[in-house]
C-alpha cells in the first residue's frame, strides 16, 4: 500500500482546527473528503501538528496511504481540484517510505506569529495577523524572547487544559524581528505545548508595551505559574510555517512541486 507525504497551505479562518472536533469543519476532514472524491477511498490523514481553530499553515505536513498507486502530480492536482472552494491547497506531493510518519518523524516545527503594529485597521491582513495600534518596542521583545530559549519548564505558558505529559520543552530559537509595521515572531522546537506560542506572544506584547521588562519574562518563566503569563494572543496571527525532517526521513521518490 503506497504512502504519500503532502505539504499543505491553508487559511484556518472558519475551521475548528486541523483535527476533527465534532462541532464544525476541520482541515483534516476537508482533505479526507477530497481523497474520497478523487479515488473513492476512505482514508485517515495524519498531520504533523494539530493547529487550533483559526490558526493558519504555510507548511503543514501529513501522510496518508492509498490502496492504489497514484502519480504524485496527479494526486496533488486532483486533491486541489476536489478541495475547492475550501481555502486548503496541496503544495507538494511525494511518495514516502512505508514507515514514514508525519508527526513522529518530525525533528523541528517552526511557528510564525504576525503582528501588524499601526494605528490604522487592517484590510488585507484581517484575520491573518494581530492588529495592535499601540506602539511596540520590538527590541525589548527580542531581548525578552531570548530568555526563553533552551530547555525549560513552560508551565507559565501552557494552556490549563493542555494534555501533554510534561511541561518541559526545548525552544531551539525564539526570534523577534520588525519590518515596517509588521513584527514577526518565530519559534523553533521539536514540539510545543497547547497554546505555548500564543501565550508567549501575549506576554511579549506586554514587554513591547512597556508593561513588563525583559527580565520580567524570565521571572514569569521561573514561576511556573500560568497566572504569571500575559494574555493568549489571538489565533489569527499564528502560522505553522514549516515542519522539518531528518534527511533519512525525507521522501526521495517521485517528488512533485511544480
Copy the grid coordinates of residue 237: 496571527
CA atoms within 13 A on the CB side of 171: 22
Query: Among 168, 144, 146, which Cα is nearest to 158's?
Result: 168
Active site residue 181: no
Single out the catalytic residue among 52, 92, 94, 105: 52
Instruction: Count CB neighbours of 255 within 10 A.
Output: 15
Pairwise CA distance, residues 252 & 243, whole Å: 16
Q: Outline where the chain has alpha helix (H).
A: 27-39, 72-83, 138-146, 196-208, 214-223
Greatest Cα pair distance, the chain, in angstroms, is 59
Show which residues are catalytic: 52
Amino acid at each position: 500500500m503506497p504512502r504519500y507525504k503532502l505539504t499543505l497551505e491553508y487559511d484556518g479562518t472558519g475551521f475548528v482546527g486541523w483535527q476533527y472536533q465534532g462541532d464544525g469543519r476541520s482541515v483534516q476532514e476537508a482533505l479526507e473528503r477530497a481523497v474520497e472524491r478523487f479515488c473513492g477511498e476512505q482514508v485517515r490523514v495524519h498531520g504533523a501538528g494539530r493547529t487550533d481553530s483559526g490558526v493558519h499553515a504555510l507548511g503543514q505536513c501529513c501522510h496518508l496511504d492509498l490502496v492504489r498507486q497514484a502519480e504524485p502530480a496527479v494526486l496533488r492536482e486532483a486533491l486541489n481540484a476536489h478541495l475547492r472552494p475550501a481555502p486548503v491547497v496541496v503544495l507538494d506531493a511525494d511518495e514516502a517510505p512505508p514507515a514514514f510518519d508525519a508527526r513522529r518523524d518530525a525533528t523541528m516545527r517552526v511557528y510564525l506569529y504576525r503582528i501588524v503594529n499601526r494605528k490604522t485597521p487592517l484590510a488585507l491582513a484581517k484575520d491573518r495577523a494581530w492588529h495592535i495600534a499601540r506602539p511596540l518596542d520590538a527590541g525589548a521583545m527580542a531581548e525578552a524572547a531570548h530568555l526563553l530559549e533552551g530547555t525549560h519548564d513552560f508551565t507559565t505558558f501552557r494552556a490549563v487544559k493542555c494534555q501533554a505529559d510534561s511541561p518541559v520543552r526545548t525552544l531551539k530559537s525564539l526570534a523577534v524581528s520588525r519590518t515596517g509595521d509588521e513584527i514577526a515572531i518565530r519559534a523553533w522546537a521539536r514540539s510545543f505545548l497547547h497554546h505555548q506560542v500564543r501565550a508567549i506572544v501575549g506576554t511579549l506584547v506586554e514587554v513591547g508595551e512597556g508593561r513588563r521588562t525583559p527580565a520580567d519574562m524570565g521571572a514569569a518563566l521561573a514561576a511556573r505559574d500560568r497566572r504569571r503569563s500575559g494574555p493568549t494572543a489571538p489565533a489569527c496571527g499564528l502560522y505553522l510555517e514549516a515542519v522539518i525532517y531528518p534527511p533519512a526521513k525525507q521522501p526521495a521518490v517521485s517528488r512533485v512541486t511544480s
